[in-house]
Structure 1
Amino acid sequence: MTALVERPPTRAPAPHAPAQPGRGRHRVPRWLAVPAVVSLLITGLYPAVAGIALAVTDSSLARPLRELVGFGNFVAAAESVAFGGSLLRSALFAVLATLLAVLAGVAGALALHARGGRFGLLGAVLLLPMVTPPVSVGVAWKLLLAPVGGGLTGLWEAIGIGGFNPLGTGAGAFTTLVLIHAWQWAPLVLLLVHAALLGVPAELWEAAALDGAGWWRTLRSVVGPVVAPTVVAAAVLQLVIAFKVFDLVAVVTAGGPGFSTIVAGFEVFRTAFRGSFEVGTAAAETIVLGVLVGLVLGAAGLVTRRIREDT
């Protein structure tokens, strides 16, 4: 006969206590952020306040902050034909240089990706213009384009245009600067787009191949939606870089011939450090240029958001 042994009732496991907020996390003392905050104040807030103070006062290079003039410097900047023309040239320069840099960078990224996704030595060589200082780039191209004794003189003679000087006319000099700038910064677009292409899943490429999609259809319908946000972001970055160009203009053309290559950044430099040394007017021109760039970036941001929502 088997004895029945009564077992004690099984207790339900006790519910876990709710996690306390912040428990198990290491709290960083706030004073560790003091160096970063101080550096931001020194490099950001102080120049901004100083620029506004100069823009609303009668200031020269020798005697800054002499007298409060309100919006007088902004009126002078608005009435300046030279500054107005430089803004138009800056906008045209930025748009053309950005289009060329983006097109060249995307084409280069696709060509590198077609090699199997390896960046390799060729990719490293293509990045050299980007890591070269703009002053060095300007000096090198000025020596190459010199009509007499330049590095490309033999090439011009070989194709029957001996003595060719692309910097001798306004349109030629402006076009040359656009091409040099695009050549220097297209590698940045190449690098960003190449990284985006590496993020495209292999399944998408295989599915497009199984469906019989050609190269252009695959690029437009499969790869395009994935890399489009990166391309737009690279274009916005290129716009900022192109609007603030100064070194290249100062070294290659110094604003000439005539006023054909004076962009806004170079005109601000001329106003502040050449001629009458009107630092107050130059500060007002800088603020106007900053507002213009901000409006352009705002519009580009709206376009970027729309593209991301569509993809």
Structure 2
Amino acid sequence: MDLKRRNFLAGVALVAAASQAQAAATEIDTTIEIINLWPGQPPGGAGPTQSEDLTPRGALRQISTPRLIVHRPDKPSGAAMLLCSGGGYRKVDIVNESTPAAIYFASRGITAVELVYRVPQEGWSIHAPFLDGMRALKIMRAQSERLGIHPARTGILGFSAGGHLAGMLATGAAESFYVPTDDIDNQVMKPAFAALLYPVITMMAPFDQTQSRLNIIGRHPTQDLREDFSVERQVSRDTPPIFLAHALDDPIVPVDHSLMMFQALRSAGIDTEIHVFQSGGHGWGMGKARPDVISWAQLAETWLRFNGMLTTS
């Protein structure tokens, strides 16, 4: 897919998401940049045979050119955030999740970087999303001066399956999948924080009945695969502070996923904060259509300030 079409799709997603974010952002960031992750064919499979498209509900499919969509704030604080949308590792739901969140956080002085990552079942390996996530962090580190971001205040935020991806990156579990390709891969970039929204965390029974588990490790995974891709099993003393938010009535990813992660973080002595909303379901994004959970972004912003990631203006 050529650059013109990629720009078009990014623009369509941004315009569609802008109306959803009006209540959250007082001013929509207009400085948008697209950065391809890989020089040429990405590693990890042959890729889809069809052209990339945007579904009527705002999700990208058939992704063959993984990339970053950078939202640069008018008044950058130096903080930065890589945003990973969900979609069950079948699609990337940018219009409902990462784009409106990027608009909100850019309005708060955070350089917000959307990750358009590849998914299995479209000709890519199960490692492709994690390769893209690792590469994204390395590019952000390599270009930190140009982008005006401080690596020590650069973190990651993920929704649903994107929360699983973010958790694998934050705990360092994805590093074992990575094979360097060029000088950018000499960069070391560990997230300084993570925010996980209604995340997929575990691949262990009885809470493994998610589409993400099916698309990553299959119907009959080995015990080793289950453990390797269960984020709560990867928590260590090196894990950064993590913010969690989930709805008690989530019918897609049970709240137990976040509770398990919270307990793992507490046991490891990692700074953490959790918000369990009485209702809200799943896939709320910025929460405009779910008033019970709409406060999550403000809560996350307060948490970032408390942990020194976002300075007070």
TM-score by length of 2: 0.22
Bigger share in helix: 1
The structure where strand makes up a greater share of residues is: 2
Higher relative contact order (CA 8 A, sep 6+): 1
